[in-house]
Structure 1
Amino acid sequence: MKITIIAVGKIKEKYLTAGIQEFVKRLTPYCKLDIVELAEERMPDNPSAAEKTQALTREGERILKAVKPSSYLLVLDVAGQAISSEQLAAKFDSLALSGQSDLTFVIGGAFGLSAEVLAAAKERLSFSKMTFTHQMIRLLLVEQVYRAFKISRGEPYHW
């Protein structure tokens, strides 16, 4: 399976970078994982609604250019569907069985995702009703992808 994570913004905290690198390393036997970092749009300190929309539109255009047309697009969105780790594992299995072996996850920046990116997604997933930094979500996502592969293979880690 090929998994791409497209993320807006850079990881600045060393502890998050170390955690992400650890799970990327652990995922090597299970999938080919690529992380694509896109720059956040610059905005004034107190942007207007129009300035936020314009920035999200520009970020969205770059995100959609980075998504392969044949890839199954899942976006992380606070208003998306909350699923369990077991359901994520089952989703991977189901997609693989149907011949869909190229998945792309998108993590937006501080202001979320454009309407165009949300509309292009096959699925919108939420990790929680709580708000997390987009940097922290990247670590949580790679850990959950790893956990999903372990669950699918019945290997120890999940329990």
Structure 2
Amino acid sequence: MLVFYGLSQAGRAIAAAAVALKGEDWNLTSHGIHASGYHLDFADIEIRTDPAGSAGSFVRLSELLRSPVWGNDTVVRLEEVWDTLPANLQYPLTGRKRFTPLYASADSIDGTEFHALLTLHVGDILDRVVDDGSRAALDEFLQSYPGTAGYEEFAPSPDGS
């Protein structure tokens, strides 16, 4: 409960301080995100946002932060949102084919100088891709991540992960 109310107050503070909001537009009137379909499997619970331009916290803050809002007409399954949280990667809701966020570690990058041969450690590549170990499996997997275009090599870490 404390985390929920803390995040709620942080959102209200961001809205209150936003130069783009005039008058009472900073006042957030609801959560701005709703769930339905409780009769479905847990992973298939349906999540919707209020329409763009509404005063719900999720929508108003998304617009202030220039993050897209998918709107009330688009349904997102709980499993899709679940998989965006790093802590949940080890706890899938189903055995379905998943495309979780790729997490990159920039610890090995020297920020003082650009070099064309850059190595970046990426974690949480799906086990089925790592277990297959082929370039074809990696290529198929990375098609779901347009930002990975232009990569050159794939090598498991020395510990095999």
Fold in common (TM above 0.5): no
Greater percentage in helix: 1
Greater share of residues in strand: 1
TM-score (norm 2): 0.25
Q: Which protein has the larger Cα radius of gyration, Structure 1 or Structure 2?
A: 2
* TM-score normalized by the length of structure 1: 0.25
Which structure has the higher relative contact order (CA within 8 Å, separation 6+)?
Answer: 1
